[in-house]
Structure 1
Amino acid sequence: MTAAPENAFELAVTLDDDGDAHITIAGDLDWETADELTDAARVLLKAAPPPGRLRVDCGRMTLCDSLGLASLLMIHRIATATGTRLQLENRPTFLRRLLGMTGTVHLFAALAAGHGAGPEDADAGGAR
């Protein structure tokens, strides 16, 4: 029996009683997996009515390449069109750097206290 690799991609999608949607990402968000994330978010955001907020937990993400970033940007575009607030929570250091270096950090909602907020998220402007 072989074990799944540490960076195997997994998504968990839930809805809560407050009307918020949650997506938890584990593993590599890359050219092989980006469409899966985009498709899952699109289904949530195209619901009638759409969720008030989409919270994406990135705490177990192990990599985000250019197509992973493109997926996050597409989700942002769809969320904006539906009036849904998008939050990227528990951003790993590499994701904060990627968002800062690409000038896209401002597109994602600031984190609420208690959901992975920290000084790194407030000032993710440059590579560290």
Structure 2
Amino acid sequence: MTTHPHHLQLTTVYTQDSVRIELHGDLEYDNADRLVQEAAVQLAARPALTDLHLHCADLGAVDSMGLSALLMIGRRTAEAGVRLHLDDRPAKLDRLLDLTGTLEHFTAPPPTGAVKSSVVPTGPDGTT
């Protein structure tokens, strides 16, 4: 059996209020969904999460599906009120984000006064 030399490997490290997912290898069509799924699992499992860090130093190639995965994670973190960080971005990732007009989207500071939303459970009749 042969393996792709740049197969994506994910390492997840978490604390009480933040999660760091380290990306090793290429983020592409064949594996981008793995990253989205891992981020979704972490968001669902940790309602008190404030920050999701994607550590990109060992990230290889990123194709359009990889970029789509990053954008999807950005949408999901925004919906959850969690700050997304693309840490230690290699120059080639910055170039891709710049060319696609998404660099500022990922690197802009959060809006001031942003508050994490909370959902209040209601009973069957709609009362709390």
Name the CA distance, whole Å, in 2 between partners of 1:98 and 1:63.
Answer: 10
- Deviates most, 35-44 or 102-111: 102-111
Unaligned 5+ runs, structure 1: 112-128
Q: Deviations over 1:36-59 (max 9, x none)?
A: 000000111123414100000010
8 Å contact 1:50–1:84 — kept in the other structure?
A: no
Larger gyration radius, structure 1 or structure 2: 2
State the TM-score, normalized to the length of structure 2: 0.78
DSSP 3-state at the match of 2:21: strand
Aligned-partner residue type, residue 55 of structure 1: H
Aligned-partner residue type, residue 7 of structure 1: H
User: 85, 88, 92: which one pairs with 2:86?
Assistant: 88
Name the CA distance, whole Å, in 1 between partners of 2:64 and 2:86.
Answer: 17
Moved over 6 A (4+): none
Who is 2:102 aligned against?
104
Aligned-partner residue type, residue 35 of structure 1: D
Unaligned 5+ runs, structure 2: 110-128
Who is 1:38 aligned against?
36
Who is 1:117 aligned against?
none
Q: CA deviation at 1:8?
A: 2.1
Quote the sequence identity (%): 38
Q: CA deviation at 1:110?
A: 5.8
Who is 2:7 aligned against?
8
Who is 2:67 aligned against?
69
Name the CA distance, whole Å, in 1 between partners of 2:93 and 2:24.
Answer: 13
Q: Deviations over 1:63-118 (max 9, x none)?
A: 1000000000000000000000000011111100010011111222469xxxxxxx
Q: CA deviation at 1:5?
A: 4.7
